[in-house]
Structure 1
């Protein structure tokens, strides 16, 4: 297939591009700067110059291939509008093919036991737009639509956990909230990239959770973060966490356990994450790039 990947210079998108190329597909990657274009070329993909607000560029790139994998995300407050316009432009230009978009664990019902893809809740606050973003793709008439919901993504020294390690180093302490008994699912970035590729190759549709079998408690996760940052680990209250880190603390205090049964039925296994012993093993493995 000829696949257009948005976010191909980023953490998830570059992993997707590498995996697609390893499977023999042709990959074109969106790149909004010279530096991003260089990263796309380094992966082995063909840069398409532009950003998420360059709608004619997005439309032409989407129409020129067999599939789109959308992993790019604006980080500003205008993210919902920018994402909607970008996805609408790409879908409107396509006549057949596949479109995979990326949302996240908050789209599923909050639970300490893994929940299936259909067990959803209406997200609120800054993430309320995720529900409409999914429906935009799943109900697109002329394309084969699919949604990938990653939980906490880790590996290769990147992902949100890298920020938590940096924060722990800066603070001189790693802190989980209250008893730290809430649980999140996790996935290694290489296994996540394999999930996108498998969904494309199997011509699958619908929503898919890409998650390892056993969610991690926040207490265990922050023990591993403390190890990587070489700092002590302690608990603090939700009020203290919110006062210091804002809404992010609220997400970390919740539960987001995902069941990847639908993806596993396609033949997916989180091979890299399982071999490392999950996110805790990765944070303690110098080869993964998190330790001091």
Structure 2
């Protein structure tokens, strides 16, 4: 595996240096990459510069020309902004193609998510179906209309066309939790459920609450991105390992996935101990209240399905999770931050959920 210092001067374009990407940026700076951060906010750009980004480009994900032009200037591109933004993914692929036309190879790591393997047949109950990233055929058999899948298929099409002219990987994170106190940013799912509990006075789950998801701490996930990048750099572009399987899961739980009912139970118990709700017992959420979670169209997809993944490829490279469990992270790190918020204006989470 490549060592720190071996990457000095390599140009990286990091699209989406937010909750996940900011942690990735810290690791790339430590490895001495020359990182350009693509972000919307001048204020956030200043923080990224302080973290060590050599350049900051201010732009929107819909600005396809700007993104494509920036890609042509960089050897490596990591897209961690969204799993469902087609225009930006297309812009990256256009830039990768432009580089290939000039004889320049590119490493492109795209972020998808394990909603793509969501098992609807066992809605509300634990499913026996588990997906392994060492078995590309399992993922390739997914329906074209699965979440994130249309964008992933577009990337796969370009990968097939370019072959050894580019090294392309698709990272599929599961339920992400965790907190970096230097950034002050929270994840999505568990904090949203906590805010719902504070607003409505009870911790809830969807359906029977027994569906399960694999999980990962955001810092362990960032280390996964770094290891995947190092692997792509050290593997020949014509290797079947790259050309035949672009998929990487990244989970910390193995067979011990958490159910949404277990998550609700911990939220209820800790909020009750804090004197924030009167009853610690979790209970089923009335669909009429889905607007205060992930909306009527997406709440069941986020909380009602199973998503069981195994990061066999990363573990085979020597990666292993080292951060806190989701329980300790929630109680010690995330809940204290949530309790500082003004919940009176909370009305659910309206943006796309990456996983």
TM over 0.5: yes
Alignment gaps of 5+ in structure 2 = 1-9, 120-126, 180-184, 236-241, 340-355
Decide which moves more: 208-217 or 19-28.
Answer: 19-28
Q: Distance in 1 between matches of 2:48 and 2:144?
A: 33
**2:266 aligned residue:** 224
Post-superposition Cα deviations, 1:33-69, rounded to whole Å, max 9, x if no partner, equal: 3123123213221212222222332223222222000
Secondary structure of the structure 2 residue equivalent to 1:269: coil
Structure 2 residue corresponding to 1:25, chosen from 15, 33, 51: 33
Taking structure 1 as reference, are residues 80 and 37 closer, same or farther at Cα in structure 2, changes over 3 Å only? closer
Deviation of the 1:88 alpha carbon: 2.7
Taking structure 1 as reference, are residues 137 and 165 closer, same or farther at Cα in structure 2, changes over 3 Å only? farther
Deviation of the 1:196 alpha carbon: 0.8
Deviation of the 1:146 alpha carbon: 0.2
Structure 1 residue corresponding to 2:130, chosen from 94, 114, 117: 114
Secondary structure of the structure 1 residue equivalent to 2:247: strand
Contact 1:177 1:241 in 2 (8 A): no
**2:249 aligned residue:** 209
User: Is 1:246 the counterpart of 2:296 in the alignment?
Assistant: yes
**2:97 aligned residue:** 92
**2:74 aligned residue:** 65
Post-superposition Cα deviations, 1:172-204, rounded to whole Å, max 9, x if no partner, equal: 221012332111011111011111110111116
Taking structure 1 as reference, are residues 291 and 53 closer, same or farther at Cα in structure 2, changes over 3 Å only? closer
Q: Distance in 1 between matches of 2:300 and 2:78?
A: 30
**2:206 aligned residue:** 177
| Matched ranges for 1:28-39 at <5 A | 28-39=36-47
Deviation of the 1:93 alpha carbon: 3.2
Which one has the largest radius of gyration?
Answer: 2
Secondary structure of the structure 2 residue equivalent to 1:219: helix
Question: Post-superposition, which runs of at least 4 consecutive aligned residues in structure 1 deviate over 4 A?
Answer: 125-128, 227-230, 237-244, 287-291
Contact 2:152 2:170 in 1 (8 A): no
Q: Distance in 1 between matches of 2:81 and 2:170?
A: 14
Aligned residues: 283
**1:49 aligned residue:** 58
What is the Cα-based RMSD across aligned positions, in Å?
2.6
Q: Distance in 1 between matches of 2:14 and 2:291?
A: 38
Contact 1:80 1:129 in 2 (8 A): no
Q: Distance in 1 between matches of 2:289 and 2:306?
A: 16
Q: Distance in 1 between matches of 2:222 and 2:335?
A: 17
Q: Distance in 2 between matches of 1:106 and 1:195?
A: 19
Q: Distance in 2 between matches of 1:2 and 1:288?
A: 37
Contact 2:118 2:305 in 1 (8 A): no
User: Is 1:16 the counterpart of 2:24 in the alignment?
Assistant: yes
Deviation of the 1:143 alpha carbon: 1.1
Decide which moves more: 124-133 or 38-47.
Answer: 124-133
User: Is 1:124 the counterpart of 2:149 in the alignment?
Assistant: no
Contact 1:19 1:194 in 2 (8 A): yes
Taking structure 1 as reference, are residues 184 and 134 closer, same or farther at Cα in structure 2, changes over 3 Å only? farther
**1:285 aligned residue:** 332
Q: Distance in 1 between matches of 2:338 and 2:58?
A: 35
